[in-house]
Amino acid sequence: MKSPSHYTVTFAGQHVTIEYESGEVYEFLSLLFSDLHEEAAIESETLLWISAGEAEDEYVLSGVGGNPFGGCLDVRFAAVVFDAVIYNLLNDNSQGIAFHAGAVAHEGKVILLPGESGFGKSSMTACLLAAGCSYLTDELYFIPLDDSAPRLSFTRPLCIKSGSAEAVRELFSEDLLAAALGDQYGYIIPHRLLNPEFKKISAPPSLILIPKYTADSPLSIEKLSPAQISTLLMTCDVNGRNLEDHGFRQVVRMARATPAYRITYGSFHGVAEAMNTLYKELGWI
Amino acid sequence: MDIQKKVVFEPGYLLEKIDDEITVYHPTLATSLYLNETGALIWELCDGERSISEVIDILVENYPENSPQIADDVRALIRRLLEKNIAVLR
């Protein structure tokens, strides 16, 4: 029997090691985690296993304390792997506060897109990429307790759920989407297809933009006060329970220091122009 | 709502006043709340000693031009506080 291999994902000082056997799984994990993978051996307990299932092309993801999930290596399987890995990376992390948030950069300035699942952070991230921003993450942004330490983006491929796939197809070329992993569950788009010159940016956010998708809503951008944005950010924290004050003071500091807006949209039409107007207001261009 | 009762906040909440607005977070309840300028004023008047009726009277006296809606605003905010379990009436 072939001996198992191990794939370690590292983020915010925490490691998750996944045990697997097949080359197909390695390729899949590399698609999902290439920017977060440690090549060098790390002393890390194996927390997740991806083993062959009963049917051909079927695999089973299992983990400590979680229910096994079976299926082929598709977009849905990827979503389950992401959830399991992120849970294990952040469950005990008390070194900072992680937010459910997308992040992109415009001319080196970081735009944070916080939002709970379903509010459109991945699709707005995609829209801003199509408008010329560079990619950092569509899922998770980590602010260490030490304000001078680098901010961290969970740089995974851009993950578009089936509900947003049609809208996102308007943004990117057919060739680009053909190179992505796509099925009835959505798309997983390797971010270097969008940003061949990708580089990590660890600067604090220069702008917080709350995406709010509302069907048929006209496009609008409204300024949010520091108290409003603090309150909203506290609904997006992932691991706050590990911190004494759930990260509240840190959130307030960031909210005081960072201009914040809510962008309400029913389609992507006009978003690029509206953002250019906002950049001018902020003195970025 | 019995406006003769007093609003008592659940202990342990964290509060930050920024530019006359308030953000509140309660770690045990894992709930957050935004209060605009009016809401912040009502929060501050609800000191555990004054009844809701007294809070309304103070606001009516100081903001007579807004008196028609003050009682409704106070009740609406207190309902939100009760829904979020951040406060109880005693």
pLDDT in tens, A99-135: 999 999 999 999 999 998 778 899 999 999 999 999 9
Residues of chain B in Cβ contact (below 8 Å) with chain A: 14, 16-19, 21-25, 27, 30, 32-35
User: Which phi-psi region, left, alpha or beta, contains residue B22 (left: φ > 0; alpha: ψ -120 to 50)?
Assistant: beta
Range of the domain at A61: 5-90
pLDDT band at A285 (very low <50, low <70, confident <90, very high): confident
Distance from CA of A122 to the nearest CA of B (A): 24
CATH number of the structural domain B7-89: 3.90.930.60
Residues 214-253 of A with CB under 8 A from B: 225-228, 230-232, 234-235, 240-241, 245-246, 248-249, 252
Which residue among B27, B30, B34 places its CB closest to the CB of A231?
B34
Q: What's the complex ipTM?
A: 0.92
The radius of gyration computed from the CA coordinates of chain B, to the nearest angstrom, equals 13
Per-residue pLDDT of A179-211, as tens digits, reads: 999 999 999 999 999 988 899 999 999 999 999
How much is the pLDDT for A4? Answer: 87
How much is the pLDDT for A1? Answer: 52
Distance, in Å, from the CA atom of A80 to the CA atom of B47, rounded to the nearest integer, reads: 48
Domain count, chain A: 2
Residue among A72, A267, A269 nearest A184 (CA)? A72
Distance, in Å, from the CA atom of A211 to the CA atom of A147, rounded to the nearest integer, reads: 25
Is the pLDDT reported for residue A85 higher than 90? yes
Is the pLDDT reported for residue A137 higher than 90? yes
**Which residue in chain B is spatially nearest to A247 when comparing CA positions?**
B27
For chain B, residues with pLDDT lower than 50 are none
Considering the domain architecture, whether residues A121 and A47 belong to the same structural domain is answered as no
Distance from CA of A244 to the nearest CA of B (A): 9
Considering the domain architecture, whether residues A231 and A114 belong to the same structural domain is answered as yes
Considering the domain architecture, whether residues A65 and A172 belong to the same structural domain is answered as no
Question: What is the domain partition of chain B in residue ranges?
Answer: 7-89
Per-residue pLDDT of A258-282, as tens digits, reads: 999 999 999 999 999 999 999 999 9
Residues of A in contact with B27 (CB under 8 A): 240-241, 245-246, 248
